[in-house]
């Protein structure tokens, strides 16, 4: 609060003493001098609605958004009923409340004051909800009905079809009138004329809607709309059919790939099974051959032991003075020689079988190594091709995702025609080869290296992208 100026002598006497301290607010409240703000404009309640609670006010001349009762400019003045815009009810006019209980010594509890405020707020909310439900517009159900005077294609078709019979009768009466006029029958001509006039007036009355202004234009607009709708439905049907065919083609291709993969897996399993069986058979035959070779070696050892035993017995008998006849030695040597020949033949046969089995096993192993090498090389080639495709897709885009109706599709076909057409490749090579000249030609020049090999990257980032 501003203070009156001090006298001239008191200006140098130091600050004035502070005002007297008061513990309690003034009787009129803390803001006794303040005036309450004017209430905002409020929507008048509907007829027969709930009354306004005390403290709510209505503007005398209407609000800034609604006209005053009985006149004014706005939607109501134009003859069209428009639901007014609902506003939340304005709070009651502010009035200074009673002093706090500690100011006058009242013992009223604070809960009672809060309950009164909640009751007032609830009453205000119920009033606003009642006004909202009273002024709510009914929501339209379904599509709005066409005006009664709007032309319809079916009605126009019925009118045209119904007018065909009177037109045919009128044409027949005209022909009859010409014949009667040529024959000079005035009475018949007059009757036919009356019938024709009556039929013509009936036909005019029947086709009167078709001659109204704007009727044919509206029919033409509706026919064009129906035609566009049929075209749109037909196009949509064709697109759906094309999508179904494409999906069926993709499904067939997918099934074909699955069948091919299954056949490949079955073939690989059969080859592995056949190789395993063949290897097991070769191993069994080789084991039998080795067993027979072991038997022949054992027979050779037995023959050597038998010769040694005969020699020892012959020496023991010679020391005793017993000498066998020479025929016995010859028979023994003959049998031993025959057994050695038999054993040698069997040994050679077993060795030949072993060599054949070893050659077969080595051939199978070599074929298996070749297959493994081919698989490895194929994987490496596929990996290199995939890397090349990735690099090409990064540089020039993915060719599979390139749409057929793209604006750059003709340019793509033009620049890639040599990859799909042999005559185009020959033509392009001919156009390039016609500029070939000998190396010592004075006007000849080499192809720039940048046309054949890419130039070195100019930055580390580009180098990482190229790699």
The DSSP letter of residue 149 is T
Q: Which residues contact 361 (CB under 8 A, 6 or more apart)?
A: 279, 282, 286
Q: Say what the pLDDT of residue 137 is.
A: 65
- Which DSSP state fits 77? T
Cβ atoms of 80 and 166 within 8 Å: the answer is no
3-state secondary structure of 89: coil
Q: How far is CA 285 from the centre of its chain?
A: 62
Q: Global pTM? A: 0.35
* pLDDT for res 140: 53
Measured CA to CA, the distance from residue 36 to residue 94 in angstroms comes to 5
- pLDDT: is 223 or 16 the higher one? 223
Mean pLDDT across the stretch 394-408?
A: 70
Residue 234 reports pLDDT greater than 80: yes
Band of residue 249 on the pLDDT scale cut at 50, 70, 90: very high
What is the reported pLDDT for 424?
Answer: 94
Name every residue whose Cβ is closer than 8 Å to that of residue 209 and which is 6 or more positions away in sequence. Answer: 151, 155, 156, 159, 215
Residues 6+ apart with CB under 8 A from 357: 282, 285, 286, 289
Q: What is the DSSP letter of 246?
A: H
Domain ranges of the chain: 43-58+83-92+113-134, 153-212, 268-394
Specify whether the CB–CB gap between 163 and 125 falls below 8 A: no
Give 417: exposed, middle or buried? Use CB within 10 Å, 0-12, 13-18, 19+.
middle
412, 422 Cβ separation under 8 angstroms = no
Compare 226 and 76 and report the one with higher pLDDT: 226
φ, ψ for residue 47, nearest 5 deg: -65, 135
Q: Return the pLDDT at 12.
A: 47
> Do residues 107 and 101 touch, judged by C-beta distance below 8 A?
yes
Taking only the tens place, the pLDDT of each residue in 277-300 is 888 887 888 888 888 888 888 888
Return the pLDDT at 109.
63
Q: What is the pLDDT of residues 95-122, one digit of tens each?
A: 555 555 444 444 456 778 888 889 999 9
Q: Is the pLDDT of residue 45 over 70?
A: no
DSSP string across 118-132: HHHHHHHHHHHHHHH
Q: Which residue, chain included where needed, has tokens 């209430």?
A: 39
Q: Count the alpha carbons within 13 Å of 303 in the hemisphere toward its beta carbon.
A: 19
For residue 192, the Cα-to-chain-centroid distance in whole angstroms is 74
């Amino acid at each position: 609060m501003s203070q009156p100026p001090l006298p001239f002598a008191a200006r140098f006497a130091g600050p004035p003493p502070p005002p007297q301290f008061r513990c309690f607010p003034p009787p009129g409240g803390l803001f006794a001098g303040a005036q309450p703000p004017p209430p905002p404009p409020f929507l008048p309640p509907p007829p027969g609605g709930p009354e306004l609670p005390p403290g709510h006010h209505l503007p005398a001349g209407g609000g800034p958004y609604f006209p005053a009762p009985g006149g004014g400019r706005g939607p109501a003045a134009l003859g069209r009923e428009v639901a007014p815009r609902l506003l939340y009810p304005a709070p009651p006019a502010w009035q200074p409340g009673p002093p706090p209980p500690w100011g006058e010594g009242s013992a009223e509890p604070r809960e009672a004051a809060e309950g009164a405020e909640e009751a007032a707020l609830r009453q205000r909310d119920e009033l606003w909800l009642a006004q909202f439900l009273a002024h709510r517009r009914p929501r339209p159900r379904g599509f709005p009905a066409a005006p009664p005077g709007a032309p319809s294609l079916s009605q126009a078709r019925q009118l045209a079809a119904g007018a065909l019979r009177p037109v045919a009768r009128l044409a027949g009466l005209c022909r009859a009138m010409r014949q009667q006029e040529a024959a000079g029958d005035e009475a018949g001509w007059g009757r036919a004329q009356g019938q024709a006039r009556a039929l013509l007036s009936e036909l005019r009355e029947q086709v009167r809607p078709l001659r109204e202004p704007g009727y044919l234009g509206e029919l033409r607009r509706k026919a064009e709309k129906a035609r566009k709708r049929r075209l749109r439905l037909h196009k949509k049907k064709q697109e759906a059919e094309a999508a179904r065919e494409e999906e069926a083609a993709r499904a067939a291709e997918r099934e074909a790939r699955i069948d091919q993969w299954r056949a490949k897996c079955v073939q690989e399993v059969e080859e592995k099974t056949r190789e395993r069986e063949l290897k097991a058979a070769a191993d069994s035959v080789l084991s039998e051959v080795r067993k027979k070779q072991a038997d022949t070696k054992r027979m050779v050892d037995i023959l050597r032991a038998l010769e040694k035993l005969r020699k020892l017995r012959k020496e023991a008998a010679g020391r005793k003075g017993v000498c066998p006849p020479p025929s016995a030695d010859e028979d023994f040597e003959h049998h031993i020689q025959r057994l050695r020949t038999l054993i040698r033949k069997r040994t050679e046969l077993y060795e030949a079988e072993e060599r054949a089995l070893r050659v077969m096993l080595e051939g199978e192993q070599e074929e298996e190594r070749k297959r493994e090498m081919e698989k490895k090389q194929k994987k490496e080639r596929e990996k290199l091709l995939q890397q090349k495709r990735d690099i090409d897709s990064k540089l020039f885009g993915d060719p599979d995702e390139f749409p057929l109706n793209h604006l750059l599709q003709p340019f793509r076909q033009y620049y890639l025609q040599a990859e799909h057409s042999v005559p185009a490749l020959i033509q392009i090579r001919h156009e390039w080869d016609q500029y070939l000249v000998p190396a010592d030609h004075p006007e000849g020049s080499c192809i720039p290296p940048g046309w054949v090999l890419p130039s070195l990257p100019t930055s580390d980032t580009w180098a990482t992208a190229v790699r």
